[in-house]
Structure 1
Amino acid sequence: MEQIHIKLGRNLKSIRQTRGFSLDKVSELTGVSKAMLGQIERGETSPTISIIWKIANGLRLSFTTLIEEPPSEIAVITKDELEPLLEEDGQYRVYPMFPFDPTKKFEVYSVEMDAGCTHESEAHSPGVEEYILVSSGTLVIEIQNTSYTVGAGSAVRYAADQPHSYRNPGGEIVRYDAIIYYP
Structure 2
Amino acid sequence: MKDLNKAISKNLKKIRKKKDLSLDALSNLTGVSKSMLGQIERGEVNPTISTILKISNGLKVSFTSLLKNEKPEIDQIPFEELNPVFEGEGHKLYPVIPFEDDKRFETYIVEIKPGHKYYSEGHVKGTEEIITVFEGELLISIGEIDYFLKKNDTIRFNANKSHVYENRGLKLTKLNLILHYE
Correspondence for 1:86:
86
Read off the aligned partner of 1:79 and give its amino acid letter.
F
Identify if the C-alpha distance between structure 1 residues 182 and 117 changes in structure 2 by more than 3 Å, giving closer, same or farther.
same
Deviation at 1:142, TM superposition (A): 0.4
Provide the aligned C-alpha RMSD in A.
1.6
Match of 1:104 in 2: 103
Distance 1:80 1:170 in 2: 25
Residue type of the alignment partner of 1:80 = E
Extract structure 1 runs of 4+ deviating beyond 2 A. Answer: 69-74, 85-88
CA distance in 1, matches of 2:98, 2:70: 8
Aligned-pair distance for 1:145?
1.3
Normalising by structure 2, report the TM-score.
0.59
- Name 1:77's counterpart in structure 2: 77
Contact 1:88–1:117 under 8 Å retained in 2: no
User: Which ranges of structure 1 fall in alignment gaps of 5 or more residues?
Assistant: 1-68
Q: Say if 1:117 and 1:169, in contact at 8 Å, map to a contact too.
A: yes
User: Quick one: distance in 1 between partners of 2:123 and 2:138?
Assistant: 20
Structure 1 SS opposite 2:98: strand
TM-score (norm 1): 0.59
Structure 2 residue runs of 5 or longer lacking an equivalent are: 1-67
Q: In structure 2, how many angstroms separate the alpha carbons of the residues matched to 1:111 and 1:138?
A: 12
Q: CA deviation at 1:156?
A: 0.2
Q: Once the two structures are aligned, what percentage of the paired residues are identical?
A: 33
2:133 alignment partner in structure 1: 134
**Equivalents in 2 of 1:75, 1:151: separation in Å?**
29
SS of 2:80 mapped into structure 1:
helix
**C-alpha offsets along residues 134-176 of structure 1, whole Å, 9 cap, x if unaligned?**
0111101101111000110110000101111100000100010
Q: Per-residue deviation at 1:71?
A: 6.6
Distance in 1, Cα, partners of 2:139 & 2:118 = 11
CA contact 2:86–2:94 (8 Å) conserved in 1: no
Are positions 1:157 and 2:156 aligned together?
Answer: yes
Q: How does 1:158-177 map to 2 (within 5 A)?
A: 158-177=157-176
Quote the Cα distance in structure 2 between the aligned partners of 1:128 and 1:117: 25
Contact preservation (8 Å) 1:110, 1:177? yes
